[in-house]
Homo-oligomer: A and B are copies of this chain.
Amino acid sequence: MNELVFVGLGLNDEYGITLKGLEEAKTANTIFMETYTSHMPNFNLQHLEKLCNKKIHVITRQTLEEENGKQILQAAKEGKTIFFVPGDPFIATTHVTLRIDAIKLGIPTRIIHGISIMSAIVSFSGLHNYKFGKTVTIPFPETPAETPYNVIVQNKKVGLHTLCLLDLKESENRYLTINQALKTLQMMEAQKQQNCLTLNTAVVGIARVGNDCPVLKAGFIKDVIDFDFGPPPYSLIFLGDMHFMEVDALIAFADAPNEFRRLST
């Protein structure tokens, strides 16, 4: 049957896919994959091809955008076509247009979800999911933006945590570090003077969630800014009001300083 199945690869490596995702791939006529919407540090393409028993066509951002997904749509008109996407296929909205285009062409589409860094970070942190406000991406310093700072300030005003994704340029092997992200935000604080981001602001730095050796470090900015998180990918959480159970979790899992006890509500 002709169809386009978006399959999430999950985190870190080719073992992040679900059994369901792999089963679907085994019966596909054609498999495409992109590697640019997020970073899977230990991913091995040849091994995934072996697991699927199929050739996987890696497609670049440039190709996909220039030709509006023509290769993929053509294959999906002719037979069962899989599009492998790191994480979950639609948490980055990059591929929503491709799905809309397929539907307009009468091609049936399905989604096999993958683990997204969005939920994995919340889970790994031990924080309470319903205490997070709006999420934001912190860009590289050469493209500074006020939005991340404003979102952090707004969430904090109503007591909520802010999950910050840190920008990456996968094609250049470039990842915004936690140190750089904090410095960018400090510069914004110096401009805006909301007194919302000081050396005593409570944060959690996260590296390599989903990997065999992830790192979680909670502390005040002064403790975290020079902490060595090792290789990418990185994320950052600005803490809002904390339930005492959240503080317990950060002390147990994230080496939070004991001063965090007085932050709980």
Contacts and interface: CB of A to CB of B under 8 A. Distances in A.
A111 interface: yes
A5 to B, nearest CB: 12
B118 A115 contact: no
A116 B120 CA distance: 8
B135 A132 contact: yes
A252 B99 contact: yes
A17 B137 CA distance: 29
Contact of A120 (B113, B131, B252): B113
A262 interface: no
A11 interface: yes
A108 interface: no
Nearest to A85: B123
A91 B119 contact: yes
Given A120-B113, A130-B136, A96 B249 contact: yes
A115 B249 contact: no
A262 to B, nearest CB: 19
Contacts of A17: 18-19
Q: Which residue of A99, A120, A249 has the most chain B CB atoms within 10 A of its CB atom?
A: A120
Contacts of A118: 118-119, 122, 129
A61 interface: no
B134 A132 contact: yes
12 contacts: A11-B113, A15-B19, A15-B20, A100-B249, A104-B252, A113-B115, A113-B209, A113-B210, A115-B115, A130-B136, A132-B134, A134-B160
- What are the 10 closest A-B residue pairs judged by CB atoms, nearest first? A116-B119, A15-B20, A90-B123, A119-B119, A15-B19, A113-B120, A100-B252, A88-B123, A118-B119, A113-B115
